[in-house]
Chains A and B, each alone.
Chain A
Amino acid sequence: MNSYEHSVSLDLTRCTGCTACLKHCPTEAIRIKDGHAQINPDRCIDCGICIKICPSKAKKATYSRLDKVLKRKYKIALPAPSLYGQFEDLDDVDFVLQGLKNIGFDDVFEVSKAAELVSAYTRLYLKTEGIPKPVINSACPVVLRLISLRYPTLKEHIMQLLPPMEIAARLARERAMKEHPELSREDICICFISPCPAKVSYVRNGFGDYKSEVDEVLSISDVYFNLINVMRRQHQPDQLSESGVIGISWATTGGEASALFNDKYLAADGIDNVNRVLEQLDNGNISGLEFVELNACPGGCVGGAMVVENPFVAKARLQTLRRYLPVSQTKLTGDERDYIPQNFFFDELPTYMPIQRLSANFGESLRMMAVIQKLHEALPGIDCGACGAPNCRAFAEDVVCGRSPEDGCVLLQKQQLEVLLKSKEEEQNRDSATTGS
């Protein structure tokens, strides 16, 4: 479990040890220890909330550096559709794609183009006999990890089609090798331009047994600042874009689901809402749905931790941008409509990791739970976070599991001190009363 590589790093010099990230982490993965935040890698789902919330900008996403990537022999940019929403007054995606070539990429392959293929195949996938419904989308890595940590019974509902990023990576490499037979596989560097750190982790760790086709993950914010310079000077760009309304809509919540032409879908975003939906699905309380689209970030991918623009502004811009585009520019023809090619699937779903359990031994867990409950009752219950745990319950758990000292609660200590002082005082009063008489 410890071998899972995350993509959030902490700048120790900047972290003040405040409770902002502690309070907002959806999986209670953070503790404040020795004056700064620590992330438990087993619990972290790479949602990026701590990066967005940190007032000192101490939490950072880790990603590949653009200048380093550009030194590679043949590099292909894979822009996520959320990139297009970052620019003011952009009326043609081609400006962005031409810009990517101008800053040094040898080729560009739009993830939104691959998304249209995935949408087409998802329509087929939903017709597969015997698959558990509703089908849950596989594009948000945070949701995938959340399911593997918390909702083992929903695992089979995950759509086993690869996300657009992976399809784009494979197609881009195939195209490069065809157009440039002199290139070896290693010469080609596939660079995904990502809105979120979760994609960085996905590429580094793979998913189940699947290994990512992407070589490097860049940050939208990083690429953005390089792009705006060259884009201004650009006159008429080459006609490069092959995306329609469907592909671009994947950047925002509901885009993937609405492309299925099936109204029996649910689309939710924001990790709290996602948890609520998963909880209800787990209980079997949502009926009549074919497809569930879940995105960890508010607004969808435009709300990722590595974007520049406010997600709602980005969404508005994408609406304008896709206005006069065809519905889809990538369609299935002839035989393609009959079955989904094997290389669009991933085989293995990740195994359940019971990170929440107190001990591997059930009897021991029971004993510990009893102690936790007792300690929890004695605590003030205001969840102040001063002890370094996000709430009193988590603190009680930390103490019983030996991760935190018992005297960590300042309020409880103050209470105990007051009781002690009072009894001392009474003792003194009694003494003076006896000497007085």
Chain B
Amino acid sequence: MNEAVRFHFVVDGEDFTSAGQASVQVKKNLRRLGIPPEIIRKISIAMYEGEINMVIHANGGEAEVLVYEDRVEMILTDRGPGIANIEDAMKEGYSTAPDNVRSLGFGAGMGLPNMKRYTDGMKIESVVGEGTTITMTVNLT
């Protein structure tokens, strides 16, 4: 079977308290598919970080999770400010998060580095002023 099973989520940027919900839903669905727990953990952490980023920086966005027989792909799309310098953004500890979310423990500058760490492939496409699309892949085999 070549066609992927697709899960689609709208990440609400207005409500910070609901951030992280898509990650929980993805996890539930991946468990139904019988994906090993260690891999689910990697996917849900990467997904969570991406979701939080969209809420903090881009006023929300959309998440598409595609499950193939050999891999899981996560595509996160937003219409936020874009990332001016991707190289800087990838550095651990680098953050442009506002103070109000930092007080909640977010914005430590570990989002993108963690997304890279927990996935087997990550691609960032970003245009300043237009938005960002991040594609992450986790191999299943």
Contacts and interface: CB of A to CB of B under 8 A. Distances in A.
Q: Do A and B come from one complex?
A: yes
A16 interface: no
A365 B37 contact: no
B31 A366 contact: no
A312 B3 CA distance: 54
B23 A362 contact: no
Contacts of A358: 32-34
Nearest to A357: B34
B123 interface: no
B44 interface: yes
A366 B67 CA distance: 8
A359 B33 CA distance: 7
Contacts of B35: 362
Contact of B69 (A283, A360, A363): A363
B96 interface: no
- Give the interface centre of B3, B24, B32, B44 by most chain A CB atoms within 10 Å: B32
A370 B69 CA distance: 13
Contacts of B33: 357-358, 362, 365-366, 369
Nearest to A150: B31
Contacts of A356: 28, 31-32
Given A152-B37, A352-B37, A283 B1 contact: no
Interface string B32-56: 1111011001001100100000000
Given A282-B41, A354-B31, A366-B1, A287 B105 contact: yes
B48 A283 contact: yes
B6 to A, nearest CB: 8
A435 interface: no
B5 A370 contact: yes
B107 to A, nearest CB: 14
A3 interface: no
Contact of B45 (A283, A354, A369): A283
Contacts of B34: 354, 357-360, 362, 365
B140 A362 contact: yes
Contacts of B44: 282-283
Majority secondary structure of chain A interface residues (helix, strand, loop or mixed): helix
Interface string A359-381: 11011011101100100000000
B20 interface: yes
B111 to A, nearest CB: 13
Interface in A297-345: none
Nearest to B38: A153
A362 B139 CA distance: 14
A375 to B, nearest CB: 13
Contact of B29 (A283, A354, A369): A369
Contacts of A418: none
A402 interface: no
Nearest to B41: A153
Contacts of B29: 369
A366 B44 CA distance: 18
A153 B39 CA distance: 11
Contact of B32 (A283, A284, A365, A367): A365
B37 A153 contact: yes
A357 B37 contact: no
Contacts of A427: none
A150 B41 CA distance: 12
A262 B137 CA distance: 41
A150 B31 CA distance: 9
Contact of B24 (A279, A367, A369, A370): A279
Interface string A194-207: 00000000000000
Nearest to A155: B37
A285 B20 CA distance: 10
Contacts of B5: 366, 369-370, 373
A370 B105 contact: no
9 contacts: A358-B33, A362-B69, A363-B69, A365-B32, A365-B34, A366-B5, A366-B67, A369-B5, A397-B32
Interface of B: 1, 3, 5-6, 20, 23-24, 27-29, 31-35, 37-38, 41, 44-45, 48, 67, 69, 105, 140
Given A153-B41, A352-B37, 9 more contacts: A153-B37, A153-B38, A282-B44, A356-B31, A357-B32, A362-B140, A363-B69, A369-B67, A397-B32
